Structure 1
């Protein structure tokens, strides 16, 4: 099954991805951005399988997400019902990613944190702060900053709400909702808009 996925991944990755797509039977849909996930794998009511990937991902994020979801499909084929991100999936995902761990596909600044992440992959690449940052080119969207860039005690806006930045805990940062005074933990790589207090 050919798809326009080839426009979304690094050129050197195309032969490997073509092989995976042709070997495993699933429909691939590229969809509009979803706030809670980059991609998903599911069995449809007709018994066929479908993978969806967000269209807003850069080529390195898209490739990693696609292989992540194909790993769910292969795990289902090999083991039937298994933990979604359990040891079977981790082993399959690591194996499927091997051909892509190459400087012609991923640049060194991504390859290093990617190799570390793959030693024990998590459900979401966003859970790995270094990899998440590297996949985004270490830059926030224009006009935005990462939460970790906001000075301690500084203010920022996120989803139309103002927060005050507090202390860092490993990969998360305590932030206080100015209106309710409730504290929330923000992933350090969340993109926000800095607000300057009077």
Structure 2
């Protein structure tokens, strides 16, 4: 069993996490950051199950991602092949998260957003802007800014491409890709680099 996960989760959550890992048969691997996902669950060619979680997440993000992936494993064991983030997974995920909805594990400024998200959890926590920001302590990665902090009409860089920030739609910003002149919608919690013209 991979016990170095203990450094990655809130201390008070360790007994619950340990129980889940012992109860469900899988290997946990902590891996380098991936741009497109925080974690994943898969069946290996040898029939064994593996969960991976990115090592750059803070303790609260890591715990939520780990339980999200364990929920995929449990759903797979109980129901076989079903929609990846369908009703079965949602019910399992909600059930597995209950012991963690505790102010000794998640700070009071995260709990209400987490409880709200769990009413109808989505494939990615990043689609829930309020929860995503709360999990990050409303602080962007070093050298980056949240897109909502970029002034209207300013240029910014996202994935090596320059964009110009435009109007806000209901929950997202219209941004013009300066290379292909197409407009893309960005969630408010996307982290981008300010463009300084160099």
Query: In structure 1, the residue corresponding to 2:109 is in which secondary structure?
Result: helix
RMSD: 1.4
Determine the structure 1 residue equivalent to 2:100: 100
Which contiguous aligned blocks of 4+ residues in structure 1 show a shift greater than 6 angstroms? none
Determine the structure 1 residue equivalent to 2:159: 159
Q: Is the 8 A contact 2:2 2:27 kept in 1?
A: no
Distance in structure 1 (CA, Å) of the matches to 2:29 and 2:196: 42
Distance in structure 2 (CA, Å) of the matches to 1:39 and 1:196: 33
Determine the structure 1 residue equivalent to 2:65: 65
Tell me by how many angstroms 1:196 deviates.
Answer: 4.8
Determine the structure 2 residue equivalent to 1:173: 173
Determine the structure 2 residue equivalent to 1:26: 26
> TM-score, normalized by length of structure 1?
0.96
- 1:42-191 to 2 correspondences below 5 Å: 42-191=42-191
Tell me by how many angstroms 1:9 deviates.
Answer: 0.1
Tell me by how many angstroms 1:155 deviates.
Answer: 1.5
Query: In structure 1, the residue corresponding to 2:174 is in which secondary structure?
Result: strand
> TM-score, normalized by length of structure 2?
0.96
Distance in structure 2 (CA, Å) of the matches to 1:157 and 1:26: 39
Tell me by how many angstroms 1:108 deviates.
Answer: 1.0
Query: In structure 2, the residue corresponding to 1:164 is in which secondary structure?
Result: strand
Determine the structure 2 residue equivalent to 1:3: 3
Tell me by how many angstroms 1:91 deviates.
Answer: 0.3
Tell me by how many angstroms 1:181 deviates.
Answer: 1.6
* 27-36 or 167-176, larger mean C-alpha shift: 167-176
Query: In structure 2, the residue corresponding to 1:189 is in which secondary structure?
Result: coil
Q: Is the 8 A contact 2:34 2:54 kept in 1?
A: yes
Aligned residues: 198
Tell me by how many angstroms 1:160 deviates.
Answer: 2.3
